[in-house]
Each structure stands twice: as structure tokens, then as C-alpha cells.
Structure 1
């Protein structure tokens, strides 16, 4: 079980490029910070990320910026450059003549849609602004950015579809790179470097409905019960039992929001013997019954 792929799939993570902007110095783009997750890639040129109350962050060619919702920000050629809202900048589409002419920067902007509590947990692992520098990208990520840059300058049919798919590829590489550089990575990602805990996590994600007692998880890890419990909590950040409950609740939320399965069927699919045990666990976790939770989604 590839946990990152599973998490992105369950978050319905999907990106779409909404602008490729050819900029001549001095230039500046202004963003409201309202989208859950936005990606910017400086395909050519240099610039700065500017936010109120924070030092400007320099950007180099091929740097990837992931911005979560919150504080408005600007991407500018130099600090103090005049800016225009991204919506206004997008009103002038690129032409082949624009791409062949002189420019100081080529900026690609895209947005990702992530849903449910899985999406929320992924977003919570990121700061307001995360930058994966071009110089730090592994060769495969750099090659994907090269493809993005080439396609951004192309005029062939199918360009939008290719850009969108390459933006999805960028998200996987960027998340890997960012999480490797920070202590704020999700616990399951940190555990991928610990073979016994990784093995258990992969099995939990593959089938959370199994009877996963602490002794069963310990056996799967090949560790004593005490050693497993201590190691899991240290590496993942929460006790194994709590992690399993959180995983089951995320799967239940997904089923409640995206299917018409009965509560009894959902209960069985996430590891509860009946809908009453499931409802009790769900209410303890969310403070609301699963039936009411589903009903609120339809309002």
C-alpha cells in the first residue's frame, strides 16, 4: 500500500493550471490567499514572495511555491514593484508572439482541490508558504518542471490537459521534498523510514477493517507489545490505537459523503461490529452522530 498515493486519492487531490504569465520587469502579481492550496512555479526569471509582516523571500528559476489559504501575498520582480490582482493579469491571454518576445519572467499558477478530512490533514502539514527550491529538486522533479516549462511555451492542442496532469505530478514531488525538509511532516510520512512501523501502517491503510488489536499490530511489526507501542507513538506522534481510530473515521467520512451505503455497511467496512458501535465511536470523535453528519452535508 502506497500511503501517499492513497491519501492523495482519498483527498481527491487534483490540480488545474489557471495562468501562464509572461512578465516584463517591473512586474507584480497579487493573490488574496483564499484558495486552499495554490502552486506557483517560476519557470523563468527571478522574483520575491512578499507578505505583510514577513521578510521578502527571494525566488530563483524553477522554484516551486505552495501557498495555503490565509494571508494575502504578492509575487513580484522586486520588492516595491507595482502589483495587479491575478484576475486582472489573467485577462490578457498569452499569444505565440508573447512567448517569442523578450521577457524577464514566465510564471505559472495553478490551484489544487483537496476534500474531506484527509485533504485537511494534508493542508495542515504545510505552512502558509512552502518553497521547494529548484536547486534542491531531485532529478525527476527537475525533469517534470522542464516538461512544464516546455508545455507552457507550446501551442499544440491538449495543452491544458498536459499542464494540469504535470501540475499533479509536481504536487507529489513537492510534498515529498517539503516533508523531507521539515519536522512538521505527517506522522505516517515520518514513519516510512522505520521499516517495522511502515509495515504496520501500510497494512492498516490497506485494510483498516481487520481486527487490529495492539497485540496484532505488534506481531505485524515483529516487535514486542511494549516496544511497538513506544516506537509507534514516538515515530508517528500518536498512539497506535488513536491512529487507527482516526484512520477509520476518515474512511467513514469518505463513505458517508460519497456513497449511499447504510450505516451498518459503513460500520463493517471500517472495522466496527455493528452500526451502534460505529455510531458511538463516530460521536465520540466528531461530537455528532454519523446520520446527522451525513444529513448536514446535504443541506
Structure 2
């Protein structure tokens, strides 16, 4: 990955608040052009503090950050027209209509999209004359996104983009983010919806207590965690009869096997079941999901085990 392809670069980034609390403890990130990068973490992990540094909303206590080759805080005039930001709360005047809000924002945005295009892009064209205070929570998030995209940014920061959206709205937002990435836009998002990160992210980083504790593609992160085989044994067959090589835990007749070698252990289980004439009801074998990997990482970091 060369610096020519890096759109967001952070090295040893730290952020310490008054009183000595260090929210970001020295992270390094690289995000390439056209990539969707997800920043994940438990509450208080330092995600929002990190993104604010990348957006140029605050200076780092230590370390360096570059967005499109510039320091986003000290060279804000060079960076701000080329990025879009969707914060957790838009804070728009509630008595303005949707159309009036977009026009107001367009007056402060270079090369703003036409009103109709901006609203159609996020599915709000039919709500143009509705006052902001009459919008649902999901519609307000769509308006936030419309304004973040208004200036046709090269880099888009999305902070919890699908909060408040119904399942259909969430899927539509995902499709829009994918299309923007395919057009060359770089997207950095934070989200509590791990399915969202798994669906959208080319790469991701998981933060805990101000540090990046895991990173890579979703497949790489999940591959580092055990796969799982679950099934129910018939009456009269105890887990003690399973092959000794299978590390199994049982809750009654329901058995769960955690494995680092899914294909090998599943094959061994099926051969044993056939030879023993045992039916495995509800058999389910799968690699770890991102949610399982995330929870496992969080538990490991908390307990140190």
C-alpha cells in the first residue's frame, strides 16, 4: 500500500482530555481510495474521539494525521471542501422544511448537488415540504446523509449512519454506500451494527480502551476466532460417546463444539455419527461471525484471558 493510494493516514495518534484521561492511546490507520473502512469498539473504546481527529474537529495530543495529504486540523481550508461528515446528531432547526434545510446547507457548500438530486439520492424527495420536526428518527438520519453528500465529497465520514432506520432503510443506505465506494469515494464509518460492518467494510479495526486490538478484512478478523458446530444428540446418547478429539460442551442433549479446524472436525463428527448410527438433529456448522469475533475480543481484552 503506497502513500499515493492512502487517503487517510494516522500514525501514533493520541488524544488526552483535561484531567489526563487518554481516550486514544496511539493508533495507526491506513485507508485507501475507494475503500470502506469500519472503526468498531465497545462504548468508551475511543472511536468517536479518533474520528474527530481524522475529521479535523480537534488536534491530536500526539502523533500525525493526514487526510488527502493534508493535516485536517491545521490545513482545514484545504480539506473541508473535499470531505463529508455525518455526525450522530445533525442539530438542524426544527421549524425549517427539508428543502429549506438543504438549501441553507447548500449555501455553505462548494459545488453543491441540486436539491432534487440530493433528496432523491437518500429517498427523501417526497418529504421536501415537511418540517424537520415532523420527520421520523430514520428520516432525520437520511437528511443527515443527504447533507454529508451534498458537496460530492472524496472522503465520507459516517458516524452510526443507520441508527433509527428500519430494516428496509438500512439496506437502502448500505446499497448507497456501496455505490459511492464503487464510484471511488472513500468511506470511514463507525457503527454498533456489526452486521453493517460485515456487509460494507473492505477492512476494519476494533478498538478497546483507546487502542486498536484487531484489524484486517472481516474475513481475517473472524478467521482468528474458533468456528462452531452445534447439534442435538438423541435420547440415550451422551456427549461422552463423542470422539475424544472434539472439544465439546453440552447443555443437556444440545452439544456445541468449538474448533480451529472446521472441515476436519466436522468430517470426524459425521463419520462417527454414521458408524455409530447416531442422528444429529439440528446440525449447524459455521465459521465465527463478526459479532462472535467482536464479543470474543471484547471478553478477552476485559479478562486478559
TM-score by length of 1: 0.24
Q: Which has the higher Rg, Structure 1 or Structure 2?
A: 2
More helix by share: 1
More strand by share: 2
